[in-house]
Amino acid sequence: MEVTIDEAKKIIDEVMSADEFHEQRVEIPSWIRKTLKWISEILEEIFHWILEQIVKLIKALNLGGGDGSGVSLARIVAFVIISVLAAGLLTVIVLLVLKLLRRTNVRRKTEVSDAEELVRLSQTPDESMRLYREYLEKGDCREAYRYLFISLLIQLNTRELIRIKIFKTNRIYKREILDIGAFDEKMTEAFFELFNLTRFGGRSISEETLREKYNEYLKMLADADLAVKKRKKGGDSE
């Protein structure tokens, strides 16, 4: 399969835009920023309320003099209390961020492991479907779908519609598949999305859904065969 200069440039741009070629930057999710702002506003309200209550208490107990020392003492006590509350809330936020970072790191390691397995299984194209049936018999629909997804990429690779490479991400594979122009875009998007949800999002999948995806898998292979025939017919006419 010949590759034009424009196609080669496109592939290079896709590869170089992958995370592996850039410094990893972890963006703080918007919900964390909103939560921090909300906590700041709440703490300010709590501070003023505590300050007001302590001033009332000091006046009631006659602990402060008439020179305003009671108010100063109240401010110190209120500041100490609010600092303890802020430290506790900050600890919770830090733990949430660390959990998010750990999940991100685990996903990256999983993606690398999946890429290596995909390359290995592509050497024996029938192995992925054997694993699909094995996990289906065990009732593990999530793992069964993972190997169904892998089998789709391998079958498209054997038909020379895409090329499996260790550096490619699923985003690149999806782009290559859609660029062929032989597959239903909505079906392809949903096929990839469900893989991400089950593999990285922990979503379960029912046997009924798995059967539906298997039918879609067969449909996409049929479309792939038609695409191959059209390419051969176009090559013969030239």
Contacts from 212-221 at CB under 8 Å and sequence distance 24+? 213/145, 213/148, 214/148, 216/187, 216/190, 216/191, 217/148, 217/151, 217/152, 217/191, 219/184, 219/187, 220/152, 220/183, 220/187, 220/188, 220/191, 221/152, 221/155
Question: pTM here?
Answer: 0.58
**Could you tell me the residue range of the domain that residue 151 belongs to?**
122-237
Residue 56 has pLDDT above 80, yes or no: no
Question: Do 103 and 130 lie in a common domain?
Answer: no
Supply the pLDDT for residue 22. 45
**Beta carbons of 36 and 93 less than 8 angstroms apart:** yes
Segment 161-197, tens digit of pLDDT: 999 998 888 899 999 999 999 999 999 999 999 999 9
Output the pLDDT for position 69. 54
Same domain, 130 and 231: yes
- pLDDT one-digit tens code per residue, 82-113: 666 666 666 666 666 555 555 555 445 555 57
Residue 115 is assigned to a structural domain of this protein: no
**Count of the separate structural domains present in the chain:** 2
CATH number of the CATH domain containing 131: 1.20.120
Q: Which pLDDT score, from 0 to 100, does residue 233 have?
A: 78
Do residues 188 and 223 touch, judged by C-beta distance below 8 A? no
State which of 43, 78, 109 marks the end of a domain: 109
Cα 65 from Cα 151, distance rounded (Å): 82
